Amino acid sequence: MIESSAIRAVAAPTLLVIAKNESRCIERCLRSAQPYVGRMLVLDTGSTDGTPELARACGAEVHFFDWIDDFSAARNRALELADADWSLFLDADEWIDPQSGFHWPAKASQAQLGLVRMMNLDQSSGMDLPVSSWLPRLLPRGVRYEGRIHEQPASQLPRARLGLTVLHDGYLKEQLQKKQGRNRRLLAQALQAEPDDPYLLYQFGTEHEGAKEYAAAADLYQKALALLTVRASYEHSLLVRTIHCLSQAGRIDEALMMIEQWAGRYQHSPDFHFAAGNAYLNKGVSDPAQALQLWLPRAVQSWQRCLEIGDQPELEGSMQGRGSFLAALNLQVVFSQLGDSVQAELYRGLAEQLKYAVEPAEAGQGV
């Protein structure tokens, strides 16, 4: 909850949603937010599927905006129309987790931005597992956005985490395919103007990774890491993705060098050790002469370290399961392949026990 000595009474914020052809999910988004906001405003950028009518039926004001390939322009227009002390942004494919149990404070500082916990459902493990990130979505009056895509508030105000969890299914395969071409085009345009922006390079890398273009993604991630001059909020996610993509691209020795270089900083990250274990396993496949003596033991140690740490949903870019049942499943497979049925059965049972903590099926449901 936002706290500061410079506080003032505030009404519930205005919800702002930018939408185009979101009939699949606009009602879910708006109805999830109704208990938390005093007003809802949808800025439609050219829907042809009835999205405006659905939004009005949920009680939202609907305004229209000609799309100009610039997300900041759309968000800033919504802020102008809202003219609110506080504005809460959600995308149409996001919805507030009804388990958040959050209540807006009667008073809050207008010298801070509010961060919501975004739980992005991710299918890279074969299941709809949540990957956490913290995004500035509660804006006080006067703050505006910048950036053509993956836009950010143009503000140096400090950021405070709210007790509000938002679920997002836009990274699931079917939804990602619909917007991949648009995102690549806009990111390419943005990078032409700012070729050394590490955040844009990171986001462009995620587009390639989502398409399983691992070598291209790894190149973009490595360049982004080299350009970071301060410890960015996305550094952890960037590093884990880099190791994963290098390994998937067959550049395993590069991945191992990065593991050695960064092990000290992220020794308490289950995601880092999970990616390291996968890289060691891949190295064992490519180097069978040393697999049993060197690489498989390192993989086992890495996944066991994941279990020691446990899931860390507070960590930016962390996937639930890597510190629990996904690590146990990997250990089950390795010990089964080694012919150690006792250890394999132990980790099979542990994986079964731990997997319910993530509850991916419930996380993916609407409200």
* 220 class by beta-carbon count within 10 Å (0-12 exposed, 13-18 middle, 19+ buried): buried
CATH 2.40.50.100 fits 194-362, yes or no: no
Distance CA 38, CA 348 (A): 48
Distance CA 160, CA 195 (A): 30
Domain residue ranges in the chain: 7-173, 194-362
**pLDDT exceeds 90 at position 147:** yes
Region 121-150: what's the mean pLDDT?
86
Extended strands (E) in the chain: 7-9, 14-19, 39-44, 61-64, 86-89, 94-96, 107-109, 113-122, 129-140, 145-146, 152-153, 159-168
Q: Which residue has the higher pLDDT, 211 or 302?
A: 302
Other C-beta atoms within 10 Å of 9: how many?
Answer: 9
Q: Do 237 and 322 form a contact (C-beta atoms < 8 A)?
A: no
**pLDDT exceeds 50 at position 249:** yes
**pLDDT exceeds 60 at position 3:** no
Question: In this prediction, what percent of the chain has a pLDDT beyond 90?
Answer: 79
**pLDDT exceeds 70 at position 109:** no
Region 65-79: what's the mean pLDDT?
97
Distance CA 135, CA 237 (A): 14
Half-sphere exposure of 273 (CA within 13 A, CB side): 28
**pLDDT exceeds 50 at position 366:** no
Buried b / exposed e over 225-251, threshold 16 CB at 10 Å, is beebeeebbbbbbbbbbbbbbbbbbeb
pLDDT band for position 121 (cuts 50, 70, 90): confident
Question: In this prediction, what percent of the chain has a pLDDT beyond 70?
Answer: 88
The whole-number pLDDT of residue 123 equals 63
Q: How many residues does the chain have?
A: 367
Name 41's bridge partners: 16, 61
Buried b / exposed e over 265-275, threshold 16 CB at 10 Å, is ebeebbbbbbb
**pLDDT exceeds 70 at position 303:** yes
The tens digit of pLDDT for each residue in 234-244 reads 999 999 999 99
Q: Which residue has the higher pLDDT, 109 or 138?
A: 138
In 3D, which of 63, 298, 87, 45 has the Cα closest to residue 179?
45
- Local structure of 285: helix, strand or coil: helix
Q: Can you read off the two tokens belonging to residue 93?
A: 């494919």
Q: Can you read off the two tokens belonging to residue 118?
A: 């975004």
Q: Can you read off the two tokens belonging to residue 110?
A: 């207008």
What's the CATH fold of domain 7-173? Spore Coat Polysaccharide Biosynthesis Protein SpsA; Chain A (3.90.550)
The tens digit of pLDDT for each residue in 154-183 reads 999 999 998 899 999 977 766 666 676 788
The whole-number pLDDT of residue 10 equals 53
Find all residues with CB under 8 Å of 318, minimum gap 6, and list them.
131, 132, 236, 269, 270, 271, 311, 312
| Average model confidence (pLDDT) across the chain | 90
Name 160's bridge partners: 114
Q: Do 206 and 241 form a contact (C-beta atoms < 8 A)?
A: yes
The tens digit of pLDDT for each residue in 182-208 reads 889 999 999 999 999 999 999 999 999
Distance CA 11, CA 7 (A): 13
